[in-house]
Structure 1
Amino acid sequence: MRYISTRGEAPALGFEDVLLTGLATDGGLYVPESLPHFDLEEIRSWRGLSYSELAFNVMYPFVDDAIPADDFRKMLDETYSVFAHKAVAPLVQLDTNEWVMELFRGPTLAFKDFALQLLGRLLDYVLEKRKQHVVIMGATSGDTGSAAIEGCRRCEHVDIFILHPYQRVSEVQRRQMTTVQGENIHNIAVRGNFDDCQRMVKESFGNQSFLGGKTQLAAVNSINWARIMAQIVYYFHASLALGGPDRSMAFSVPTGNFGDIFAGYLAKKMGLPISQLVIATNRNDILHRFMSGNKYEQHQLEHTLSPSMDIMVSSNFERLLFDLHGRDGLAVKTLLENAAKGPVSIEDYRWKHARKLFDSDAVDDKATCDTIREIYEQNEYLLDPHTAIGVRAARNCRRDQAVPMITLGTAHPAKFPDAVAESGVSVEPPLPAHMADLFEREERYTVLDNNIDGVQAFIAKHWKNA
């Protein structure tokens, strides 16, 4: 399996190099040169497999000969054994043919654990083999940071620097990152928003001279292909649990950086019968505005009750644009350069194709709170604000009541008690036992100005062998 850049000018790489590289040298994102495809008979044969066995079948074609099969199986067994539910991603029924897939049963209570618990093990394996040290630099709107730290904190060959927007993540999200002790763990609170953090990460990958040639950056954001690869699996898991592949499924995905729903798009291309994919956004609705009106235009980023989706520049959208443009890297590069200057549109026939692939909806804070309250009153089931946006969008956009609609439950409600309280639900969601003392743990983080030179200087000074 070889990987190519969405901007067409970087060399093709194998899995190991893509794992360590993150962003391509031309500024693009890596995607597989070709996708594996499974027929219905093969998918049907996977019924009854454990989650880690299913994950091996779906993911190993992407890894190929980079890691021996037995070693990869062991990594997957270890990755999903730390989840708090034997099903790993259990399905909860809300109504007739309506479901939530709980993706928050991992150590940090968010869907990011599915990929980042595995990514830490992949990095350890490859870096040990190469006798190499790397610096992880990542940006988080709330959940990626804690999942990355938890997944990678025991890695012997990495230093971790996670940027989060100062005072723009929930207190639980912040403390999950800043209370993890370790000399190789560094949390940076940037006086800015998530897009500022993400921009610094991308620019740093493009020019790593601040590291003095002594090490290289590795990515944990969903620009890293391994993140997307791991997220494809739970679409197959949900389908098989509800009668797939002999019936089609619909999925609603709370969407910020576009990685999670892009994984669903790939699952469909790989042979899984999916009839509908719903992009569920909050007020930061650039993707909904593009899907509904063919206008990609950045607005002022707003702070909402669903902070993990407070993103205006959805990095993984570039991967979809690459496909929409017939994998023409130059066309994607030109489009994104123009998008940085102002609003852009794509050719009408390309946009109409995108509309066939995706539905979309934007849900404001009031509708988010209303949904949390309604679902609790109907089922005594508590949603976090991001999942609530997914449920509301699913109900607003649903095409066929006969097709099971599955909303991806992206985070545990205990991470967002303020949103739950604002919804009017009187129940305060408790933290799980392993996090019960979270508010008593000592925090460690550094507040820096929204300035890339200062952030890079901090990283250059504090990584282990600086």
Structure 2
Amino acid sequence: MQFISTRGQAPSVSFTEALLMGLEPDGGLAVPATIPTITANVLEDWRSLDYAALAAAVIGLFATDIPKADLRAIVSAAYGADRFPTPVVALKPLDGVVPGLTLVGLSEGPTMAFKDLAMQFLGQAIPYVLARDGKVLNILGATSGDTGSAAEHAFRGQEGVSVFMLSPVGRMSDVQRAQMYSLADPNIHNIAVDGVFDDCQALVKALSNDAAFKAEHSLGAVNSINIGRIVAQAVYYVWAWLRASDGVAAEERAPFHVDVVVPSGNFGNIYAGHLAKSMGLPIRRLILATNENNVLDDLFASGIYRPRSAAETLATSSPSMDISRASNLERFVWQLLGPEEFVSRWASLEETGSLDLTDRLRDMHEEFGFVSGTSTHKDRLASIARVHAEAGALIDPHTADGITVALRHMEQGYPTLVMETALAAKFAETVEEALGEAPEPPMFVRELLGKEQHVIEIPNSEDELRALIRRSALHRG
């Protein structure tokens, strides 16, 4: 399996090469040169696998340059009992709210967020590749809340890897900050930027697009621009469909389609669902849920993609989705338009600040199955309260955005899976506002909040970030 750049000006690379690369040399994102196919027979063969074995099977379709025995060892370590409970991802029916509504529990990992599922894979796969090839990697990333802690907990203490994680000052929850800033491992560097997430992301892209600086300091990325994360996330879409269809008669499984609702800010998680759907997984619709920073909802409603400035990006009670420029959208638009047309039309986004895809709006809906909706703070509170009252479950505000949009778009006869984003304990203040009382936080959360925190604050400055990396980056030899 080879991977090519959306911009079309970089040589094709293997999976492990793409894993260390982050952005392609031409500034594009890695995409599979061909998309493997999942047939109904293959799905039935996979039905009895546990999560780690399924991960080896799905990721193995892309990671063809990793020997199968090595890949099995990597996923066994990533999804072991010391990191996730059995069965790793559990489906939780919410029939008390609406029959056919199910929560896909993605947040039982080390940092209580869905991003652990892909990041723990990278935390094993990347050190494996570095040791095999005699390399080091300085991971440069930006987080609006959950990516940073998931990355840092996956790579803390790992040989040959340092993590430089940018986060916006004052834009994360107390638990999100504590999960990151309480780490004292020497290979973890927390950097708080005076700005919003999009400013952090712009700094990462600026340094990643500087080929000389990137090569000199062995920079890579593990946020959702890393194709390894996308591939690892596709696993739980397959797992969720298999578990949702376990009770369906065998002769009815082939046409058994589900709708999947995904809270989305950077378009990475839902792109992984799109990849699984493109491979043949029976997903009927991908329902994208945004918060008040609803650039993506505007796109799928109107056909116009118009990113907003930092000043226009609102601070909301679902902060991990406070994003107004979705990095992974490039991958989908590349597929939507085709490689040749993509290059010229994507350039118009850089020149004018918007991209007109109204001529492809029907394709987005009918061919690719995208639907979208916006949720507000009031909606989040109502959904948290309703799910607690009617199903006895606690959900976080991002998942509440998903529930809100799911309830608007559900159609009878089609099971609807809502991808959980995080555990409610990470956002206790909003949950308390919704329920009128604060749930008792787990002991480990109380201990976490009491730990000393370590963070460096910098202005929104490329020069400041470059200087910091020069001082602290790992180098070969």
Q: TM-score range by the shorter chain?
A: over 0.9
Q: Which amino acid aligns with 1:294?
A: G
**Deviation for aligned residue 1:48:** 2.1
Give the fraction of aligned pairs with identical amino acids, expressed as a percent. 39
Q: Is the 8 A contact 2:3 2:12 kept in 1?
A: yes
Q: Which amino acid aligns with 1:178?
A: Y
**Deviation for aligned residue 1:416:** 0.5
Per the alignment, residue 250 of structure 2 pairs with none
**Deviation for aligned residue 1:86:** 0.3
Q: Is the 8 A contact 1:321 1:332 kept in 2?
A: no
Per the alignment, residue 15 of structure 2 pairs with 15
Q: What do residues 222-264 of structure 1 show as CA deviations (whole Å, max 9, x unaligned)?
A: 1000000000011111111121643111100000110111111
Q: What do residues 10-46 of structure 1 show as CA deviations (whole Å, max 9, x unaligned)?
A: 1111112101111011111000000110210110121
SS class of match (1:45): helix
1:47 aligned onto 2:47: yes
Per the alignment, residue 361 of structure 1 pairs with 373
Q: Is the 8 A contact 1:208 1:216 kept in 2?
A: no
1:327 aligned onto 2:339: yes
Per the alignment, residue 233 of structure 1 pairs with 235
Q: Which amino acid aligns with 1:283?
A: E
Q: What do residues 403-437 of structure 1 show as CA deviations (whole Å, max 9, x unaligned)?
A: 11000011011111111122134242523x54441
Structure 1 pair 54–387 and aligned structure 2 pair: CA distance change class (3 A): same
SS class of match (1:302): coil
User: TM-score normalized by structure 2?
Assistant: 0.93
Structure 1 pair 189–338 and aligned structure 2 pair: CA distance change class (3 A): same
Per the alignment, residue 467 of structure 2 pairs with 457
Q: Is the 8 A contact 1:417 1:429 kept in 2?
A: no
1:162 aligned onto 2:165: yes
Q: How does 1:369-388 map to 2 (within 5 A)?
A: 369-388=381-400
Runs (5+) with no aligned partner, structure 2: 247-252
Q: Is the 8 A contact 1:257 1:317 kept in 2?
A: yes
Q: Which amino acid aligns with 1:223?
A: I
User: TM-score normalized by structure 1?
Assistant: 0.95
**Deviation for aligned residue 1:465:** 4.7
Per the alignment, residue 250 of structure 1 pairs with 259
Structure 1 pair 160–368 and aligned structure 2 pair: CA distance change class (3 A): same
**Deviation for aligned residue 1:354:** 0.6
- Partners of 2:167 and 2:208 lie apart in 1 by 17
Structure 1 pair 74–67 and aligned structure 2 pair: CA distance change class (3 A): same
**Deviation for aligned residue 1:336:** 4.6
1:303 to 312, 315, 319: 315
1:174 aligned onto 2:177: yes
Structure 1 pair 282–83 and aligned structure 2 pair: CA distance change class (3 A): same
- Partners of 2:44 and 2:414 lie apart in 1 by 18
- Partners of 1:125 and 1:84 lie apart in 2 by 21
Q: Which amino acid aligns with 1:377?
A: A
SS class of match (1:276): strand
Q: Is the 8 A contact 2:178 2:448 kept in 1?
A: yes
Q: Which amino acid aligns with 2:305?
A: Y
Q: Which moved more, 1:413-422 or 1:184-193?
A: 413-422
SS class of match (2:113): coil
- Partners of 1:424 and 1:435 lie apart in 2 by 19
Per the alignment, residue 138 of structure 2 pairs with 135
- Partners of 1:395 and 1:461 lie apart in 2 by 51
Q: Which amino acid aligns with 2:337?
A: H
- Partners of 2:212 and 2:334 lie apart in 1 by 29
SS class of match (1:4): strand
Q: Which moved more, 1:8-17 or 1:220-229?
A: 8-17
Q: Is the 8 A contact 1:210 1:457 kept in 2?
A: no
Runs (5+) with no aligned partner, structure 1: none
Query: How many residues align structurally?
Result: 460
Q: Which amino acid aligns with 2:291?
A: N
Per the alignment, residue 249 of structure 2 pairs with none
Q: Is the 8 A contact 1:248 1:274 kept in 2?
A: yes
Q: Which amino acid aligns with 2:154?
A: G
Q: Which amino acid aligns with 1:304?
A: T
SS class of match (2:104): strand
Q: Is the 8 A contact 2:217 2:473 kept in 1?
A: no
1:221 to 223, 226, 232: 223
- Partners of 2:474 and 2:338 lie apart in 1 by 43
Q: Is the 8 A contact 1:288 1:361 kept in 2?
A: yes
**Deviation for aligned residue 1:285:** 0.5
Q: Is the 8 A contact 1:373 1:425 kept in 2?
A: no
1:438 to 424, 432, 448: 448
Q: Which amino acid aligns with 1:455?
A: L
- Partners of 1:58 and 1:463 lie apart in 2 by 34
CA RMSD of the aligned region, Å?
A: 1.6
Q: Is the 8 A contact 1:115 1:228 kept in 2?
A: yes
Q: Is the 8 A contact 2:333 2:342 kept in 1?
A: no
Per the alignment, residue 67 of structure 2 pairs with 68
Per the alignment, residue 264 of structure 1 pairs with 273
1:401 aligned onto 2:405: no
SS class of match (1:256): coil
Q: What do residues 333-388 of structure 1 show as CA deviations (whole Å, max 9, x unaligned)?
A: 6425435533331251x221012220000101111111111111112211100000
Q: Is the 8 A contact 2:109 2:117 kept in 1?
A: yes
- Partners of 2:212 and 2:47 lie apart in 1 by 49
Per the alignment, residue 192 of structure 1 pairs with 195
- Partners of 2:444 and 2:122 lie apart in 1 by 22
Q: How does 1:98-109 map to 2 (within 5 A)?
A: 98-109=101-112
Structure 1 pair 6–429 and aligned structure 2 pair: CA distance change class (3 A): farther
- Partners of 2:173 and 2:240 lie apart in 1 by 29
